């Protein structure tokens, strides 16, 4: 294949800390250094004769093949690409791949050189940062930004045959008293317990969010109006169950407002659900006037 026999270059190939693979234009591996074998979880000899794309995650194969085709067509000199690799034991890792053509006799290109580097730690850091940016750090629920994005996504598909969505807004009653009596750590425990109860009620496609303080929201897609009242009642029941704080049971309640997703602006929809929640709270705290009593009749003298 035209690989140099210079001992220094051969030693550099064998002892390089980064995985190095030489493959034919059709993807067949013809050389592999020990670092690549360790990274891919296979002995170098086991990789010889295999097609490079065999170790690429199935979901990433098409994109990787298209990128390689650009290189072989001369549309780029060096291909830099990130994809997932499937190891022999079933584990999936992220790798950064750099691919360059290897000119041989008469500038004919029959082989490519592939450098492979494990970037799993970087990908995990990026995923952690992304999760923290879009989730409440206490409960792990979606935060306001992610909820608004989910609402926007749900509303973007609205049309004649769009599935109905409803947004529920929940506010705890008596939460301040819990903080005052037991401390903020106990209050955090209540919020965490409530978050777990809410998630247990929802389907996989629903979104539960903590908006701040003791306020939560739930977006339910594909929910008919006749089912919305039952969902609101289940959310109220989740908040009414006793919370355990240092062996003491504390009972709270919640006001729940529900708004069908009838406006295109996610912020406006959130405000509407909030307004309906406060209307529910106001009705619950407003005393019902007693019916007027008939004045007693005086006996005739």
How many other β-carbons are positioned within 10 Å of the β-carbon of residue 301? Answer: 3
Question: Which single residue is written with the structure tokens 């001369």?
Answer: 74
Of these residues, 214, 222, 265, 274, which one is catalytic?
Answer: 214
Q: Which two tokens stand for residue 275?
A: 């307004």
Q: Hey, which residues does 80 pair with through a beta bridge?
A: 98
Please say whether the beta carbons of 29 and 15 come within 8 A. Answer: no
Closest CA to 79 of 29, 33, 134, 23: 23
Q: Which of 42, 41, 152, 39 is nearest to 96 (CA)?
A: 39
CA dihedral 146, 150, 155, 160 (to 10 degrees): 180
> Is 214 known to be catalytic?
yes
Q: Which residues contact 148 (CB under 8 A, 6 or more apart)?
A: 266, 267, 270
CA distance 190 to 232: 19
Maximum CA pair distance of the chain?
A: 134
Q: Tell me which residues are annotated as active site.
A: 214
């Amino acid at each position: 294949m035209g690989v140099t026999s210079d001992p220094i270059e051969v030693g550099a190939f064998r002892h390089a800390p980064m995985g190095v693979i030489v493959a034919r234009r059709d993807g067949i591996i013809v050389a592999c250094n020990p670092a690549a074998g360790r990274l891919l979880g296979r002995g170098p000899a086991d990789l010889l004769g295999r097609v490079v794309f065999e170790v690429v995650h199935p979901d990433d194969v098409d994109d990787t093949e298209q990128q390689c085709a650009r290189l072989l067509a001369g549309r780029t000199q060096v291909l830099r690409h990130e994809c997932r690799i499937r190891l022999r034991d079933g584990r999936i890792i992220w790798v950064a791949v750099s691919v360059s053509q290897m000119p041989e006799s008469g500038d004919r290109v029959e082989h490519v050189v592939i450098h492979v580097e494990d970037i799993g730690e970087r990908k995990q850091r990026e995923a952690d940062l992304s999760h923290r940016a879009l989730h409440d750090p206490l409960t792990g629920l979606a935060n306001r930004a992610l909820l608004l994005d989910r609402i926007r996504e749900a509303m973007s598909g609205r049309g004649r045959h769009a599935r109905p969505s409803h947004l529920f807004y929940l506010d705890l009653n008596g939460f301040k008293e819990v903080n005052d009596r037991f401390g903020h750590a106990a209050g955090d425990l209540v919020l965490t317990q409530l978050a777990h109860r809410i998630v247990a009620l929802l389907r996989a496609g629903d979104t539960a969010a903590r908006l701040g303080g003791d306020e939560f929201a739930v977006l339910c897609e594909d929910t008919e109006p006749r089912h919305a009242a039952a969902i609101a009642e289940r959310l109220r029941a989740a908040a009414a169950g006793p919370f355990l704080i240092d062996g003491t049971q504390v009972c709270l309640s919640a006001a729940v407002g529900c708004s069908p997703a009838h406006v295109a602006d996610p912020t406006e929809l959130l405000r509407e659900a909030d307004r309906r929640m406060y209307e529910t709270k106001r009705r619950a705290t407003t005393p019902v006037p007693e019916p007027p009593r008939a004045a007693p009749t005086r006996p005739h003298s």
